Amino acid sequence: METLGPTGAAPGPDPGGVRFVVVGARRTGTNMLCTLLDSHPAILCHHEVFNPRGIFCAQGLRDADFSLGSMEERDADPVAFVDRVWGRPEGRHCLGFKLTRGQAEPVLLHVLADRSVRKIVLRRRNRVKAHVSERIAERLDQWEVYDEAELDPVRPRVEIDADRLRSEVAGNERFYRCIESRMEATGQTPLRIDYEDLGDPGERARLLRFLDVDPEGAVLEARSVKQNPRDLREVVANFEALAEALEGDPLRAELFDLES
């Protein structure tokens, strides 16, 4: 998404609770965040209900008798499909879903303009790791992992092109600037959080308070499995050449970061 449309939009139907959307670039921990939120009994958090491959509902509902309808229905009128999502809170006080960069832009415009929908904007401080994770996910065609047994312990080594890395990072930054610009234009304040902080109890409490959920005594569980090692030397086949190509670029420090 390079630009955003007009700011006016009528609020959608109120399910009687809090509605929210998680917005982030790819491989920034959105699956982890969705499972964290969905692990609270007061919150229902779907994943990518607008993914081109399918309607990915909350991870805890995937083996249940639950359906939001067909992809044909969704794609025929995506904005109307949002109302269908809002209409199925399943007894939860909070209901939300996630949207990633480049996905269902009319829906993104719609929910961003709806002031009754709370926005959680997720970033990943280490942009190089996000990019490498995306290249590995493409290689394996494996974007979600919830069981250690499904994860190949030997991760593939990928070649990273410095120019493509910079281009993807720049595209993500434009995406986030558009989000922030739209929030500012409509007088909204999103909750901003980084992937690297999702394990912090204080940040988890802040998430719950943002959704009007009492954090006292709450225990959130991340059901997603971390897929890649911290040290990029293990998975970037051309690590030394990439480090040389990034000389003088702030991204170089992120290449060597072992903390996230």
Domains assigned to the chain: 18-256 (3.40.50)
Could you tell me the pLDDT band of residue 63, with boundaries at 50, 70 and 90?
A: confident
| Average of per-residue pLDDT values in the chain | 91
Determine the pLDDT at residue 215: 96
Could you tell me the pLDDT band of residue 232, with boundaries at 50, 70 and 90?
A: very high
Determine the pLDDT at residue 153: 73
Per the listing, tokens 């480049």 go with 102
Q: What is the pTM of this model?
A: 0.90
Determine the pLDDT at residue 15: 45
Determine the pLDDT at residue 16: 64
Determine the pLDDT at residue 4: 42
Span 147-158, mean pLDDT? 81
